[in-house]
Structure 1
Amino acid sequence: MDKPSKYPAGADPVSNEPGTLWVVATPIGNLRDLTYRAHDTLARAEWIAAEDTRHSQRLLESYGIRARLISLHEHNEASRIPRLLRLLEAGRAVALISDAGTPLVSDPGARLVQAAAEAGVPVRAVPGASSLLAALSVAGFAAERFLFEGFLPARPAARRSRLAPLAAEVRPVVLFEAPHRIVACLHDLAEAVGEGRRVVVARELTKRHETLLRGPIAEVLARVEADPAQQRGEFVVVLEGAPPRAEAEGQDPDEVLRPLLAELPVKQAARLAARILGQRRNALYQRALALKGEVSGEE
């Protein structure tokens, strides 16, 4: 695609409004996922703010797009904003892109968009690829509502603390994870919500080596541990929501409290267990105190 595409009669793919900040989604892997509108917007932009200019330059060159690039990442966003605002206020067309997918979704750019809006600069979205929605669409879990947790903390204790409340979450949960932490993430996820909860691990979405692993967490974890290839690339993890409270009736409270107490204070563990089991918090708090005492006695 080296020329602006043709649109249906009457379509207005790109506004001629001067001084607009265009927030443009780019492919997450397959270059053919760049939309016609995104192509034309980038081709007409005078400046493109990119997370990694070398990475984005290769994308633009593959489409024959020539534009002036300016870096915008988490370490320089604050210092870049005044310059970009001056360009926008002078009537320049500026596009914002990330390395892949939709900007601002676990990527920099929020401060620029907020500053532009506060300055009265028009901000327009050019939607497209998103690994978050791509993974959710193929997971097979009902997603009228879902929870996006982004990247988990790198430190094990902080990661487990973030995962613990998910035991009671009835909505599907979407996570991003780095390749060197995917095994640890699945281990901690199994501890937090139970080995039998279903999960989908989407690796390298839209790319040549894309894989989707489905099943109970324990089963998926075993497959990832057994295959080094499944520990490389970019990962989106979709966790099935917890069963409704009615389905949790009859479950042994100790089975819920013990893993929560391993990571959380007694009060917080009792509160989450009450949500999972649909039981009174006070009774679960007393049981949690007893279990905590049992553990301390063993030690």
Structure 2
Amino acid sequence: MSTSFASALNAARDAAGAQNYPQGALYVVATPIGNLADITLRALHVLQMADNVACEDTRHTQQMLRAYGLDKSGQQLIALHQHNEAERASQVIDLLRQGKRVVYVSDAGTPGVSDPGARLCAAVQAAGLRSIPLPGASSVTTAVSVAGIVSPDAQGFLFAGFLPTKSAERAAAIDQLATEPRAVVLLEAPHRIEEMAKALAVLGERPVTLAREISKQFEQITTHAAQALPDWFQADSQHSRGEFVVVIHPAPRSAEHDPREQQILELLLAELPMKTAVRLASQITGGARNRLYDLALALRSGSDAQAQD
């Protein structure tokens, strides 16, 4: 065990030990995405008390557990990955029915988010058993938190995961995402990131944030116009190293409003209260409610001024 975590185990027992941890439950635990210090105290406590730990790679997980000073035998570890998830889910359910506490961890981050775990949780739910999530590290939310996404419509973001690996399918997927008004979050491996960058170049000036090696020594987070991404990768071979989170920012909205939006809003304002007219106009046109409300105020002000004349 690293001496850095010796006191963390005691702190975990003190901070989380008094809480209730039901037997016969699956604990879905987020683990660090790079920096071991990003583990939570509750995760450490649950990993200490777990009867079994299901995981993507038993060697990787055993190494992580030993770094924290947690002693689990090989018999307590269950290999559960994308190729055997359905089969191993039955084994986990049998253990839960015996009253065991079973933890599931992916290799890094939050299980079930582009990692195995979703089928396991679905099977546990179908069996009438309980899954308990323990929040923690996530490369998606970590990248989004510093990407500086400014959306005129304040609609959040779309997580699209990994794009297709075949070039034609990837290009078709990007064409579809290009019309998405929200920010789009993608994941990509280092051996495919430059091909993704070339495909994203069709988005022109649209800003794209690249986050690589998050929480690790050589973490790098940078934002460029989509059309400049291929040159950025070509400038330094180090730029393509590490796992990537790619955030495509929302497309800038034109300063001019859509004439159709104004026409529909004018018709609705003639018959309905402003809030109702704005809500219906947003549903009909897909426009942002805040922007339509500002337009409605301008139209109502202009109408009042004409009436006074």
TM-score when normalising by structure 2: 0.76
Match of 1:216 in 2: 225
Larger gyration radius, structure 1 or structure 2: 2
1:70 to 75, 78, 87: 78
Deviation of 1:204 (Å): 0.5
Counterparts of 1:190-229 in structure 2 under 5 Å?
190-191=201-202, 193=203, 195-229=204-238
Match of 1:131 in 2: 139
Distance (whole Å) between structure 1 residues aligned to residue 18 and residue 110 of structure 2 = 18
Q: Structure 1 residues 70, 230: closer, same or farther in 2, change over 3 A?
A: same
Deviation of 1:248 (Å): 8.5
Q: Secondary structure at the match of 2:192?
A: helix
Q: Percent identity?
A: 45
Match of 2:35 in 1: 30
The AA in structure 2 aligned to 1:239 is I
CA RMSD of aligned residues (A): 2.4
2:104 to 96, 107, 121: 96
Counterparts of 1:77-226 in structure 2 under 5 Å?
77-142=85-150, 144-191=155-202, 193=203, 195-226=204-235
Match of 1:60 in 2: 65
Distance (whole Å) between structure 2 residues aligned to residue 32 and residue 7 of structure 1 = 13
Q: Secondary structure at the match of 2:169?
A: helix
Residue-pair matches, total: 251
Q: Structure 1 residues 104, 221: closer, same or farther in 2, change over 3 A?
A: same
Deviation of 1:12 (Å): 5.8
1:231 to 240, 247, 256: 240
Q: Structure 1 residues 85, 165: closer, same or farther in 2, change over 3 A?
A: same
Counterparts of 1:280-295 in structure 2 under 5 Å?
none
Deviation of 1:11 (Å): 6.1
Name whichever of 240-249 and 125-134 sits farther off: 240-249
Contact map agreement 2:60 2:107 (CA 8 A) in 1: yes
Deviation of 1:33 (Å): 0.1
Q: Secondary structure at the match of 2:164?
A: coil
Deviation of 1:66 (Å): 1.7
Q: Secondary structure at the match of 2:178?
A: helix
1:45 to 41, 50, 54: 50
Distance (whole Å) between structure 1 residues aligned to residue 15 and residue 81 of structure 2 = 37
The AA in structure 1 aligned to 2:250 is G
Distance (whole Å) between structure 1 residues aligned to residue 16 and residue 211 of structure 2 = 35
Contact map agreement 2:28 2:131 (CA 8 A) in 1: yes
Deviation of 1:16 (Å): 3.1
Contact map agreement 1:170 1:244 (CA 8 A) in 2: no
Deviation of 1:58 (Å): 0.9
Distance (whole Å) between structure 1 residues aligned to residue 87 and residue 13 of structure 2 = 41
**Residue 20, structure 1, aligned to residue 25, structure 2:** yes
Q: Secondary structure at the match of 1:100?
A: coil
Q: Structure 1 residues 9, 57: closer, same or farther in 2, change over 3 A?
A: closer
Contact map agreement 1:14 1:37 (CA 8 A) in 2: no
Deviation of 1:151 (Å): 0.6
The AA in structure 1 aligned to 2:106 is S
The AA in structure 2 aligned to 1:179 is P
Q: Secondary structure at the match of 1:6?
A: helix
Distance (whole Å) between structure 2 residues aligned to residue 160 and residue 54 of structure 1 = 37
Distance (whole Å) between structure 2 residues aligned to residue 224 and residue 130 of structure 1 = 25
Distance (whole Å) between structure 1 residues aligned to residue 18 and residue 137 of structure 2 = 17
